[in-house]
């Protein structure tokens, strides 16, 4: 609706974004999915103009004309023209709104979800819907270009008690038994490789019944993909193609390839996390050797016990005593035994509560290692390696993460450990039990140091997804189960249907899954994924719009052979 339509008679249908009723003349901004245009109504010709209210759905006919001198609105794409109305039809009036359809109003999120259909009319939310669609379209475009087949897998599957809690669906035809909703299409996509599909992808809904977070919902979407005769390189190259295409589509920028790669060990050592945010420095530095001979008990005791002393330069920060005490408190919350702060003075000496316990050489070495300049705040932790890493990593992010996230820093973390220790002294898969170890013999003899062919995609410090080269040899699979303490009988009972499939000529294969909600929310600068999910749930799993989850009729339960335990609070139906 621009100047090239001047003189044309048009009909616009949409919603009343705003009305400005001057009595003798009425201006109405009409909004549809494509934009906003100003309509001018003369109440002497169209008396109904006075009745218009926000969000009425209307159809207006009139002539497009140039706006009079001095009334052009440069903020509007259609601001040089207006429609002189000759006819007005109210297609549907609107009740008084629960909130206004504008971005600048912050509304309680529960209310937004209860009236999500109105919330989605807000420009930024409408743009999120568009962005999500375009992101998925870009993904499909790449997959199609690379010769992938989109294959659907079932959402009512067998429960495999492993990983997250399953969501269960009772079976009517087989009372007392349950389907599970898939946590991912993992095993089905591997069987598609056995089936000879070779290049598979799917935009898949996944379900994990764990507690909610800003970046976690009970149901979410993944771009799931898998390739036969593939190893890690093929997967990572494909991922780069996808990420570059989606970022180009949503941000209009061209990411550099190849993406940065860090091994898991490097990521943990330098950033204290397996999902580093590399948009800023403040890298963590090992100081253990600096304090190898230290007199300072807190450090020497930790080192003697096999721990580490590490720190990072937080740069220029507010260094009031209360702030510094707060950081120490925060470190304790995060599990550290303590935290040592040092503030670099103008003469390059260090102000620190522990300075008097440290030698001049040690202090000088710290300044040098951390490249410290006057005004810098240095944070040092002495602890068991993993604790030191996670505490410093968390503090680094809290002190350094840039506001907003316009920059994009994608990277791959590779060479994940195959296992992580469990509380009872055993081993749990750090990715999943179908992940191929790099060295099978070492995996069996030294599980602690075994590296697997697992990798993550990280964007701005958020885990966008993970994948791995899979085990295609039943012998290797059996050895992994052995390390995990899963007896062959148990493996057969839980995964037999899948393991049988591996015994009929399984091609080597590898794959990945990208979290679509997280990806789009980062590219849209949204602080949580609910903003890019049209109908999300609250932190307690409720949908304020529909009232889900709800109690159901006793007759319905009886049909399923289900009797509820008393006192669950859901029996007030």
Partner RNA sequence: GGGGGCGUGGUGAAGUCUGGAGUUCACGCCGGCCUGUCAAGCCGGAGGUCGCGGGUUCAAAUCCCGUCGUCCCCGCCA
Q: Which residues bind RNA (CB under 7 A)?
A: 18, 20-25, 27, 29, 38, 40, 42, 44, 53-54, 67-68, 70-73, 75-76, 79, 82, 96-100, 104-111, 160, 162-164, 183-184, 186, 208, 210-216, 428-433, 527-528, 530, 538-540, 542, 544
Q: Quote the least distance from Cβ 240 to RNA, whole Å.
A: 23
Q: Shortest gap between Cβ of 352 and RNA (angstroms)?
A: 27
Give the CA distances from residue 315 to residues 44, 283, 400, 404, in Å, rounded to whole numbers and listed in that order.
68, 11, 9, 20
User: In angstroms, what is the minimal distance from the CB of 130 to RNA?
Assistant: 22
- Return d(Cα 124, Cα 134) in angstroms, integer: 15
Convert 68-107 to b/e letters by CB count within 10 Å (16 or more is b): eeeeeeeeeebbebbbebeebebeeeeeeeeeebeeeeee
Quick one: how far is CA 380 from the chain centroid?
Answer: 30
Compute how many other C-beta atoms are within 10 angstroms of the C-beta atom of residue 311: 25
Q: Provide the CA 320 distance to its chain's centre, in angstroms.
A: 35
- 431-449 per-residue burial string, b: 16 or more CB within 10 A, e: under 16: bbbbbbbeebeebeeebee
User: Closest distance between RNA and the C-beta of residue 384, in Å?
Assistant: 15
Q: Which one, 375 or 426, has the nearer CB to RNA? A: 426
Angle at 399 between CA 252 and CA 363, to 5 degrees: 130
Q: CA dihedral in degrees (424, 429, 434, 439; nearest 10)?
A: -110
Residue closer to RNA by CB (options 231, 544) is 544
Give the residues across from 350 on adjacent strands: 344
- Angle in degrees, CA 155, 520, 511, rounded to 5: 50
| Nearest approach, Cβ of residue 73 and RNA (Å) | 3
Residue located via tokens 């008690």: 161
Closer residue to RNA, CB minimum distance, 379 or 529: 529
| Shortest distance in whole angstroms from residue 573 CB to RNA | 15
Closer residue to RNA in complex, CB, 310/432: 432
In contact, 223 and 203? CB cutoff 8 Å: yes
Minimum distance from residue 527 beta carbon to RNA (Å): 7
Minimum Å distance from CB 512 to RNA? Answer: 12
* CA 371 – CA 355 distance, rounded (Å): 18
Beta-bridge partners for 89: 59
- DSSP E strands, 188-231: 199-207, 219-228
Give whichever of 99 and 357 is closer to RNA, judged by the CB atom: 99
Euclidean distance between CA atoms 441 and 50, whole angstroms: 82
**Residue 68 Cβ, how far from RNA at the closest point, in Å?**
5
| CA neighbor of 417 nearest in space, from 455, 450, 369, 380 | 450
Q: How far is the CB of 37 from RNA (least distance, A)?
A: 10
Q: Which CB atom, from 26 or from 236, has the smaller least distance to RNA? A: 26
CB atoms within 10 A of CB 363: 18
Angle subtended at Cα 186 by Cα 184 and Cα 192, rounded to the nearest 5 degrees? 130
Distance in Å, CB of 369 to RNA, minimum: 28
CA distance 46 to 52: 11
Nearer to RNA, 13 or 548 (CB): 548
Which letter does DSSP use for residue 167 in this model? P
Nearer to RNA, 327 or 343 (CB): 327
Compare residues 72 and 120 and give the one whose CB is closer to RNA: 72
Q: Give burial (CB, 10 Å; 0-12/13-18/19+) of 148.
A: buried
Q: Pick from 249, 222, 231, 235: which is nearest to 148 by CA?
A: 235
Complex with RNA: residue 302 or 387, whichever CB lies closer = 387
Q: Which is nearer to RNA, 245 or 383 (CB)?
A: 383
Comparison of 73 and 263: residue with beta carbon closer to RNA: 73
Whether the CB-CB separation of 467 and 510 falls below 8 Å is answered with yes
Q: Which of 432, 569, 426 is nearest to 498 (CA)?
A: 432
CA distance 420 to 432: 11
Distance of closest approach, residue 141 Cβ to RNA, in angstroms: 27
Q: How far is the CB of 211 from RNA (least distance, A)?
A: 3
Question: Which two three-digit tokens encode residue 182?
Answer: 């898939």
CB of 401 to RNA, least distance (A): 12
Residue 363 vs 397, nearer CB to RNA:
397
User: To the nearest whole angstrom, how small is the minimum distance from the Cβ of residue 542 to RNA?
Assistant: 4
Nearer to RNA, 63 or 234 (CB): 63
Going through 278-409 in order, the beta strands assigned E by DSSP cover 285-286, 308-316, 340-344, 350-351, 376-383
The smaller minimum CB distance to RNA, of residues 249 and 482, is found at 482
CA distance 253 to 237: 19
Q: Please state, in angstroms and rounded to a whole number, the distance separating the CA atoms of residues 89 and 154.
A: 47
């Amino acid at each position: 609706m621009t100047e090239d339509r001047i003189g044309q008679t048009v009909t616009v249908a949409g919603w009343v974004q705003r009305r400005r009723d001057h009595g003798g003349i009425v201006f109405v901004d009409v909004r549809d999915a494509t934009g906003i245009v100003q309509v001018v109504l003369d109440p002497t010709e169209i008396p109904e103009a006075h009745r218009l209210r926000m969000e009425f759905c209307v159809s207006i006919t009139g002539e497009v004309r140039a706006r009079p001198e001095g009334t052009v609105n440069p903020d509007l794409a259609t601001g040089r023209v207006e429609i002189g109305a000759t006819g007005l039809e109210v297609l549907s009036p609107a009740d008084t709104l629960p909130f206004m359809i504008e971005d600048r109003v912050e509304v309680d999120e529960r209310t937004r979800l209860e009236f999500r259909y109105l919330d989605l009319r807000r420009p930024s939310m409408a743009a999120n819907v568009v962005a999500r669609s375009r992101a998925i379209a870009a993904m499909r475009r790449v997959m199609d270009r690379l010769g992938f087949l989109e294959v659907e897998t079932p959402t009512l599957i067998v429960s495999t008690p492993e990983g997250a809690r399953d969501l269960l669906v009772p079976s009517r035809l087989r009372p007392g038994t349950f389907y599970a909703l898939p946590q991912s299409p993992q095993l089905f996509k591997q069987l598609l490789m056995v089936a000879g599909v070779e290049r598979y992808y799917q935009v898949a809904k996944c379900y994990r019944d764990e507690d909610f977070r800003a970046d976690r919902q009970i149901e979410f979407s993944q771009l799931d993909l898998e390739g036969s005769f593939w190893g890690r390189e093929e997967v990572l190259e494909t991922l780069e193609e996808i990420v570059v295409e989606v970022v180009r589509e949503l941000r209009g920028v061209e990411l550099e390839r190849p993406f940065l790669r860090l091994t898991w060990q490097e990521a943990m050592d330098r950033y204290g996390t397996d999902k580093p945010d590399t948009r800023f420095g403040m890298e963590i530095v090992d100081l253990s050797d600096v304090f190898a001979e230290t007199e300072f008990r807190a450090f020497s005791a930790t080192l003697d016990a096999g721990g580490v002393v590490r720190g990072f330069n937080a740069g220029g920060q507010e260094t009031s005593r209360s702030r510094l005490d707060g950081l120490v408190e925060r470190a304790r919350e995060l599990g550290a035994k303590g935290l040592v702060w040092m503030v670099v003075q103008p003469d390059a000496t260090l102000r620190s509560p522990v300075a008097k316990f440290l030698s001049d050489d040690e202090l000088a070495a710290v300044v040098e290692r951390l490249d410290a300049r006057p005004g810098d705040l240095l944070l040092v932790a002495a602890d068991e390696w993993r604790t030191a890493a996670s505490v410093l990593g968390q503090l680094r992010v809290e002190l350094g993460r840039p506001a907003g996230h316009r920059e994009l820093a994608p990277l791959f973390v590779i060479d994940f450990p195959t296992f992580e220790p469990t509380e009872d002294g055993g081993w749990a898969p750090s990715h999943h039990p179908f992940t191929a170890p790099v060295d099978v013999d070492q995996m069996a003899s030294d599980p602690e140091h075994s590296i697997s062919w697992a990798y993550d995609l990280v964007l701005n410090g958020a885990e966008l997804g993970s994948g791995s080269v899979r085990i295609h040899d039943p012998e290797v699979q059996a050895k992994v189960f052995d390390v995990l303490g899963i007896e062959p009988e148990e493996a057969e009972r839980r995964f037999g249907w899948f393991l049988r499939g591996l015994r009929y000529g399984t091609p080597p294969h590898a794959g990945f899954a990208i979290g679509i909600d997280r990806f789009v929310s980062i590219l849209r600068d949204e602080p949580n994924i609910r903003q890019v999910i049209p109908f999300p749930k609250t932190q307690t799993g409720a949908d304020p719009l529909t009232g889900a989850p709800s109690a159901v009729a006793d007759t319905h339960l009886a049909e399923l052979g289900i009797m509820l335990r008393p006192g669950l609070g859901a029996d007030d139906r």
